[in-house]
Amino acid sequence: MNFKENYQNWLTSPVIDEASKAELRSIANDASEIEFRFSSYMEFGTGGLRAKMGAGTSMMNPYTVAHATEGVARLIDTLGDEAKARGVVIGRDSRNNSDVFARRSAEVLSAHGIKVYLFDGIRPTPELSFAVRHLGCIAGINITASHNPSAYNGYKLYWEDGSQPTKENADKVSAFIEEADILTGVPAPADTKEELIEMVGPALDEEFLKNVAGETVYPDVIAKAADDLRIVYTPLFGAGAKHAPEIMRRIGLKHIYTVDEQMEPNGDFPGLDKPNPEYPASFALGIALAEKVKSDLIIATDPDADRVGIMARNKAGQFECITGNQMGSLLLDYIFTALKEQDKLPADAYAVKTIVTSEMASAICRHFGVELHNVLTGFKFIAEVIRTHEEKGTGTFLLGYEESYGYMKGLYARDKDSIVACMLICEMAAYYSLKGMTLIDAMDSLYAKYGYFTEDSAEIYKEGLEGKVQIAAMMNDLRENVPAELGGEKVVNFRDYQAETSLDLTTGKVEPTGLPKSNVLYFMTEEGNVVVARPSGTEPKIKFYILAKGVSRDDSKANAAACKASLEVCLGLNPGELRK
């Protein structure tokens, strides 16, 4: 069936609501828009689904959400009555229609005779991961598009260990989705079995917060610094509004100031193009409040509260962003240091980071004698390392993180958690404040101790069907025409994670990457600077990561800038066109 027939089927189907039909009639004369909306379905991967909201098979709407849930339900059906009785827990964030999509998912599952635990309001993504484990569910569903613009929403599937599913299970769900006709093969709301839907509320919140609080590493420092430490916090209209301030209070902080204009849930995210704590623009109101209350630290979490970003004062008294790479290094060093000072650093400790995350982590782990694992981008891969250690009965997990502002400590969940990160950041700020240092000062001390590392990133957005083709073409061009040099240095290693090969360009020797297949390209220069290219699995963009080092901070920055300039040449872009 072609996209024109799909379009007409939606216009005439008794299943589709009138508002959706009116939206579709409004694009009747836009063939390219009709093709974009109806030529394909959203691809269901290990990260689930994510797209703009609207009518059509490639958009997020109640019909595509129900269709995806039908795939999940059919997989659970094959696992038998025990799996169906264990059930699925469903969470959501503050985005527009998240409540509608969560409810529709519950209806489809219950119609299959599957037990459903439905949160009674918005919750942080890590609490959904925790809930899967705590309730003993077979799976979990979270309705969220994380830090995307307000036009987007998404659907994340979790499996019984609280992590996102393996490729095997994701492929099974995809196959069951393809089997089901989106208009006639999905249970209607009238088929809902309400007796199988149980609302989940404050009792589970309490269990989650107890587990988070159990991850403190140096609780005494809060009590010593609490009188002077002032924290400004904003949830950016999202799900962190209750839990983040609450965990700060529970560990003993006395002066917590919230950005009241951004505390209430609002899926339009007024004043923010992207509700993303990576961007300094997200901190404008927080900075104003921090200046008023004389705080040295501002913390922001994204709408589903799995990511956290901060700004801290520098020596000039101005607020400066700490990047996700820098925060990961700070937390890693702080946790190891705090445990060592208390004679609690385990001999079998290990940490996990992604291949696009700063190599300062390697230097820190070497210094403390801690094993470091490098994995592909995504917390599901961090969770796999933990699962392997648990199955072998070896190792003590201390921290997992990635450059995109996601951190996880503890074994109660299997996804990045801004709530535990907020707690640890505050604790770390207290530790350094007792030494007369801000977190910017602390980062400078890490550079002096471990060497100078600079990380940069850039992305190119390409919307629509043509955009997908263009992104694929860029990846293929880099794959087939490996740059001879980047940043004025010879490229000596090229890894194609899709082909699962690592090529030594000096000797011609080819070895396996040792990591799962993924559409990621990795280039390393003779001095150890790295460029990574990766299409996003959730947004219409290709992202580039630059990991550089040098003999000084300025030198490492210059190396990063030179690598980016070379990348622009390779991609046929104008100088300065590749921006963050």
Q: Work out the pLDDT band at 483, boundaries 50, 70, 90.
A: very high
For residue 461, what pLDDT is reported? 83
State both tokens at 365: 């782990």
For residue 464, what pLDDT is reported? 76
Residues present in the chain in total: 580
DSSP 217: S
Q: Please provide residue 310's backbone torsions phi and psi, each rounded to the nearest 5 degrees.
A: -140, 160
316-345 pLDDT, tens per residue?
A: 999 999 999 999 999 999 999 999 999 999
Q: Work out the pLDDT band at 44, boundaries 50, 70, 90.
A: confident
> Which letter, b or e, does each residue of 25-61 get, where b requires 16 or more Cβ atoms within 10 Å of its Cβ?
eebeeeeebbbbbbbebbebbbbbbbbbbbbbbbbbb
Number of H helices, E strands in the chain: 19, 23
Burial of 156 (0-12, 13-18, 19+ CB in 10 A): buried
Domain definitions of the chain by residue range: 40-208, 230-450, 452-571
For residue 579, what pLDDT is reported? 67
Lowest mean pLDDT among 138-147, 177-186, 465-474: 465-474
Q: Please provide residue 436's backbone torsions phi and psi, each rounded to the nearest 5 degrees.
A: 75, 25
Q: With 60 as the cut, is the pLDDT of residue 136 above it? A: yes
Closest CA to 413 of 400, 424, 422: 400
Contact 450, 364 (CB under 8 A): yes
Contact 458, 332 (CB under 8 A): no
For residue 541, what pLDDT is reported? 86
Q: With 70 as the cut, is the pLDDT of residue 383 above it? A: yes
Q: With 70 as the cut, is the pLDDT of residue 538 above it? A: no
Q: With 70 as the cut, is the pLDDT of residue 180 above it? A: yes
Q: Does the domain made of 230-450 have the CATH classification 3.40.120.10? A: yes
Q: Which residues are catalytic?
A: 146
Architecture (CATH level 2) of domain 40-208: 3-Layer(aba) Sandwich (3.40)
Contact 376, 497 (CB under 8 A): yes
Burial of 391 (0-12, 13-18, 19+ CB in 10 A): exposed
Domain 230-450 identical in fold to domain 452-571? no
The 197-200 sheet, strands edge to edge: 49-52, 152-159, 139-143, 88-92, 116-119, 197-200
Q: Which residues pair with 152 in a beta bridge?
A: 52
Widest pairwise Cα distance in the chain? 71
Q: What is the mean pLDDT of the chain?
A: 95
Percent of the chain at pLDDT exceeding 70: 99
Q: Work out the pLDDT band at 580, boundaries 50, 70, 90.
A: low
- Report the SS3 class of residue 459: strand
For residues 305 and 286, give the distance between their C-alpha atoms in angstroms, rounded to a whole number. 17
For residue 574, what pLDDT is reported? 85
413-471 pLDDT, tens per residue?
A: 999 999 999 999 999 999 999 999 999 999 999 999 999 999 998 888 887 778 888 89
110-130 pLDDT, tens per residue?
A: 999 999 999 999 999 999 999
For residue 578, what pLDDT is reported? 80
> Which letter, b or e, does each residue of 232-254 get, where b requires 16 or more Cβ atoms within 10 Å of its Cβ?
bbbbbbbbbbbbbbbbbeebbbe
189-202 pLDDT, tens per residue?
A: 999 999 999 999 99
337-366 pLDDT, tens per residue?
A: 999 999 999 999 999 999 999 999 999 999
User: How far apart are the two ends of the chain, measured CA to CA in Å?
Assistant: 40
Q: With 90 as the cut, is the pLDDT of residue 386 above it? A: yes
For residues 56 and 50, give the distance between their C-alpha atoms in angstroms, rounded to a whole number. 14
Fold adopted by 452-571: TATA-Binding Protein (3.30.310)
- Report the SS3 class of residue 295: coil
For residue 49, give every residue at least 6 positions away whose Cβ sits within 8 Å of its Cβ, in sequence order, or none.
42, 43, 60, 64, 65, 68, 154, 155
